Structure 1
Amino acid sequence: MLKSDVFLRTVIVAAALATTSVASWAGCRVATAPEGWAASSMRWDGDCTGDTANGLGVLKEQDGATVKRMFFGRVVKGELTLGVLDEPGQGFGAGEFRGGKLIDTDDRSLIIKSFEDAAKAAAAAADRFERAGNKASAKFYRDKAKQLREQMD
């Protein structure tokens, strides 16, 4: 295969990934981006079944190396279901998600469960970074887990 063919295929794949509504990291996909997020700028760090996000984790929207905002919580078959959005300057949004949208609720037990799942997701991310030897990221996620738990007090 010629170098130009490899380059062309790389460009085509990159363009296809940039236009999908799927976020992936290490082969694990999130099917629906949170409302207003750029799907091409997202990374999933969490549980997967096959190539699909499934379980607790952290979804980050990035601008280069800078994290713009985060979702901590539960994803089922690639769809955000329960958790917390952490958007700098706007605080936290907690609850159920459908089609990437946070559903408004006054149900305190649901909001508490959202923060509990979010704290578990952050703690699990901290454990993964700790095992990988990344102490700075492990500390960040441990601090985030503590911050999320404190929202329930």
Structure 2
Amino acid sequence: MESRRSPRSPTNISARIRHDGGWDDVAILNISQHGMMLATKPKLNRGAYVEVRRGPYVIIAQIIWSNEAFAGARSQDRISVGHLLEKRAINPIENGTERRAIQRPTEQSWATCRALGQLFERSAVWLIAGLAAALMAETVYNALAEPTSQISAAMLTPNR
């Protein structure tokens, strides 16, 4: 007879798993407060730590046993089975579109963004240069205004 720390809830939840080999799809076949049984394509190494993600939930777990198709994982923290099983909480579809199906920016859109950035940068440089030129012109005008007015006044007064 098998002794378990907590009861298992049979499930068939798709999720993502990060392991030594990168990211893969995984199915959670049963889950308890302390662990889960996973159906995986790659064989997971016993003792390895993995990250299982489903919607907003992240579960860090250690692989306790593994064979070619399945693995048992024990979580570091207590798993909220109810929250993980809630359909609305774990639904990967937001606004009617699956996150991975959203079209990513293409090289052409990156080029457009780069060109707009360069245009903004050049415009800012020209604006700063124009303001600096106006400030210099005003400084020169103010510096020469007094002597010029004195010369004009001296030329207008008759010689004695």
Instruction: Return the TM-score normalized by structure 1.
Output: 0.23
Instruction: Return the TM-score normalized by structure 2.
Output: 0.23
